[in-house]
Structure 1
């Protein structure tokens, strides 16, 4: 029986959520499967991937063929790298301890890269928020200045009219008296 590691789509329209499953190659995409080994949520940034590493490695070693997207997920989580290292141990290129050391170093580097992306996204989000607040404050100041400018000439004109009226009244009183 030819087995595949593939994604099984769930979720509503426009919000996909996938289960990573091992299924018979002849079964429909969302149909019968042998074992569920994880999940994949592309809606989050970065995408959330939960994978049973040992079961996935076991299935890959037993000949299950991953689809393109499943292969990318397995590679991202290190399943394919672990299989590669196990092949090197079988061929005698290095021993099991060296393989574990190489895999641990790769895992640390991969985790650091993921954390760097998460912190970069958080920083860019904060920067966008600060820029929006600064733009809003500037717009508010401009609006206040425009209102003050609009109201200021009216007050000056009213004061000038009052002065002119007072002067006109004085002139009329002088001519009468």
Structure 2
């Protein structure tokens, strides 16, 4: 039997509350489980002690039996110091697509060209100004 340590959702709509359970991986998320190992209340502040509560003796027992923790549970265990931190894939989902990157580059090029034109326009009247003053004095 492939065991997992995972979250089983409880609570009402928009008020989540989770049980940390040891369950057969073939069972549904909120279905039958073998043992309740703790609770997780995401509505509490992150520094609140009662946000994540686990029976560490039983968690260590199930890990010793070969139960695989889910990603969220492994993060809880890393924070508790039971597991060593592992490297996770950074999916780069926030990076814009090719077309958006091209538009940003085009916009930057236009802004740079406008800045150069403004700099040239500023420099040109400064050179012409003394000539105009000399013609005005005559």
TM-score, normalising length from structure 1? 0.44
Count of residue pairs the alignment pairs up: 81
The structural deviation recorded for 1:11 is 0.7
1:56 aligns with 2:51: no
Question: CA deviation digits over 1:48-71, x for unaligned, max 9?
Answer: 111001110111121100111111
Q: Indicate the residue corresponding to 2:124 in structure 1.
A: none
Alpha-carbon distance between aligned partners in 2 of 1:44 and 1:75, rounded to the nearest angstrom: 19
| Partner residue in 1 for 2:82 | 79
3-state secondary structure, aligned to 1:80: coil
Q: Which structure shows the bigger proportion of residues in helix conformation?
A: 1
Runs of 4+ aligned residues of structure 1 deviating over 6 Å after TM superposition are: none
Classify the secondary structure of the residue corresponding to 1:29. Answer: coil
Q: 1:13 — aligned with what? A: 13
| Cα separation, 2, equivalents of 1:19 and 1:8 | 5
**Per the alignment, in what secondary structure is the counterpart of residue 72 of structure 2?**
helix
The structure carrying a bigger strand percent of its residues is: 2
Kindly indicate whether the alpha-carbon contact (under 8 Å) linking 1:56 and 1:79 is maintained by their aligned counterparts in 2: no
- Give the match's secondary structure for 2:59: helix
Supply the distance in 2 between the matched residues of 1:69 and 1:10 (Cα, whole angstroms): 16
Question: Where do 5+ consecutive residues of structure 1 fail to align?
Answer: 82-177
Please name the residue that 1:162 is paired with: none
Aligned partner (choices 67, 72, 95) of residue 69 of structure 1 = 72
User: Greater relative contact order: 1 or 2 (C-alpha under 8 angstroms, separation 6 or more)?
Assistant: 2
